[in-house]
């Protein structure tokens, strides 16, 4: 199984981890009454996505569930800090409780990390199948023609079977006139 940067899915894994991190942070922030980020906050979230995606694509062993879980969890924490630092505080009555929000984050992080890790394994397996299917074969090219059949003093078995299966009986001689 390919690990780290040798995986054929490194760019997709990085894109998925970065996108998921920012999407989860934005969705959670918006659902809790914090409003949709814009301007400099949105630019900082894009930078966070690039950093988490870059780490996911370059860290050794990033195709494993545990590493993806930690990356996305750290990204969630950083996203929350970014959104909270610019004055986007959650409205107390509008959003769910802190325990509900943390549970929702943990479930989303677990599902996202599992999907990213599984997709990496499936991409590696599919890549091996495709590489094997399109790999050039090493069949040598024959430079000589095969020997021609030479007549033998005995007929072929197939000719004997054909001759034995044919009927030589015809209509009576007097009926042919």
Give the tokens for residue 61.
């062993």
Q: What is the DSSP string of 7-64?
A: STTHHHHHHHHHHHHHHHHHHHHHHTT-----THHHHHHHHHHHHHHHHHHHSTTTTS
Q: What is the mean pLDDT of residues 120-124?
A: 85
What pTM did the predictor assign? Answer: 0.63
Give the tokens for residue 169.
């009986």
pLDDT for 66 equals: 92
Give 6: exposed, middle or buried? Use CB within 10 Å, 0-12, 13-18, 19+.
exposed
CA distances from 167 to 24, 173, 176 (A): 84, 16, 18
Cα(25)–Cα(78) distance, integer angstroms: 9
Confidence band of 2 (pLDDT split at 50, 70, 90): very low
Residue pair 7/124 in contact (Cβ under 8 Å)? The answer is yes
Q: What is the mean pLDDT of residues 32-58?
A: 85
Cα(71)–Cα(74) distance, integer angstroms: 5
Cα(85)–Cα(31) distance, integer angstroms: 18
**pLDDT tens digits, one per residue of 66-121:** 999 999 999 988 988 888 776 555 555 555 677 888 888 899 999 999 999 898 88
Our measurement of the distance from residue 127's CA atom to the centroid of its chain's CA atoms, rounded to an integer in Å, reads 8
**pLDDT tens digits, one per residue of 132-174:** 888 887 777 777 776 666 666 776 777 778 777 777 777 766 7
Q: Is the pLDDT of residue 4 over 50?
A: no
């Amino acid at each position: 199984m390919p690990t780290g940067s040798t995986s054929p899915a490194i760019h997709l894994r990085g894109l998925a981890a970065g996108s998921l991190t920012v999407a989860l942070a934005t969705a959670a922030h918006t659902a809790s009454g914090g409003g949709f980020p814009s301007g400099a906050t949105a630019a900082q979230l894009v930078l966070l996505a690039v950093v988490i995606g870059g780490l996911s694509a370059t860290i050794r062993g990033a195709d494993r569930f545990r590493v993806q879980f930690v990356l996305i969890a750290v990204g969630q924490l950083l996203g929350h800090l970014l959104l909270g630092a610019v004055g986007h505080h959650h409205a107390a009555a509008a959003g769910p409780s802190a325990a509900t929000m943390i549970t929702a984050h943990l479930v989303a992080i677990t599902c996202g990390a599992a999907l990213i890790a599984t997709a990496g394994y499936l991409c590696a397996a599919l890549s091996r199948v495709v590489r094997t299917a399109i790999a050039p074969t090493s069949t040598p090219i024959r430079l000589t023609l095969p020997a021609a059949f030479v007549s033998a003093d005995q007929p072929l078995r197939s000719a004997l079977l054909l001759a034995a299966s044919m009927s030589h009986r015809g209509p009576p001689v007097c009926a042919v006139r």
